[in-house]
Structure formats: structure tokens, C-alpha cells
Amino acid sequence: MKQWFVFYTKSRHEKKVFEVLTRNGFEAFLPMQKVMKQWSDRKKKVEVPLFNSYIFVYDTIEKIPVILQTPGISWNIRHNDKPAVLHEKEYTLINRFLESGLFLESMSIPDLKSGDKVKIIDGSLKGIEGQLVSIEDKQHFVVHLESFTGSIRVALDPKLLQAI
């Protein structure tokens, strides 16, 4: 059965790995977002991976050894001693976040603070549940994706949230 398996890439190799995988016939997912980068002489919008050093490949578990031979892939992420899987619901959720146009910031699990569970009650992300944290006096909506070591943090108006 095909699933979205999670792989760790060498630093800043995500796009190259994505190109090689797709050229070799694999269905790969590399969520990208546009961010403003500033250099000493200019500012520019650039496209960067949402999850640094992660790429997702849709295939069967038997293909993992073949995928691991791709230059730039370091290892496959494991969860409970099994290959980590990005569930279809999470895949859809990431795409919804990207399509919403909201600023996204990936964060590692240890950076999360405990807080209230909330649900978005309006807008393009209506119905999504997550955890609320307060950082620098701003409200952030946090969605924890349990099947791998990442989360997504989205800045939202607190009026769009409801405690659950």
C-alpha cells in the first residue's frame, strides 16, 4: 500500500533531492513557501522548504531502500520503530495551510509550550484544531503533526479561535 514516507535530507539539498526523485519516477512532496530574505544590499522574496531537511515520498514500504539510495537523502524518519508516515489528512492540512497564504513557520516539537487546545471557527482554515501558544505577545495557532518531528505555527487573529 502506498503511503507518504518521511525522509531526512542533507542540509539545503531538498530541491535537488526532489528533482532527482521525480526524474526517477517517484511521487515526492516538498512543501515550499515564499519568504522575504534580506541581504545587505537588497530584499527579495525567495521560495524555501516549509520543513528544512525533510521530503515526503509516496510509495510502498518495500521501495524505501531504493529511495534511500537517492543522492542527498540521509535516512528515513522512524516513529515507534517503524518508518514515519505523513497521513493523508496531514498532507491535505499542509496543502490547505500553503493555499491559505498565511505566514507559516515550521518548528520542532521541543519548542512547543503547553497551552489550550483550540479550533479555528472561521476563514479558509475553519475546522482545524491545534494548540495555542503565546510568543512575544502575539497569538499563534499551532498544529502538531504527530507522525514526524515537526509542527506548523500560523499567526492568526485570536477572534478566529475557540477553545475546545
Where is 106: in which H helix or E strand? strand 104-107
Share of the chain above pLDDT 90, in %: 40
- Domains in the chain, CATH or no CATH each: 3-86 (3.30.70.940), 89-163 (2.30.30.30)
Give the DSSP H or E segment for 20.
helix 14-23
- Tens digit of each residue's pLDDT (9 = 90 or more) over 87-114: 999 999 899 888 887 766 665 543 434 5
Residue 150 pLDDT class (50, 70, 90 cuts): low
Q: Which pTM was predicted?
A: 0.71
Over 70: is that where the pLDDT of 86 sits?
A: yes
Rounded CA-CA distance 2/83 in Å is 13
Q: What is the mean pLDDT of the segment spanning 50-70?
A: 96
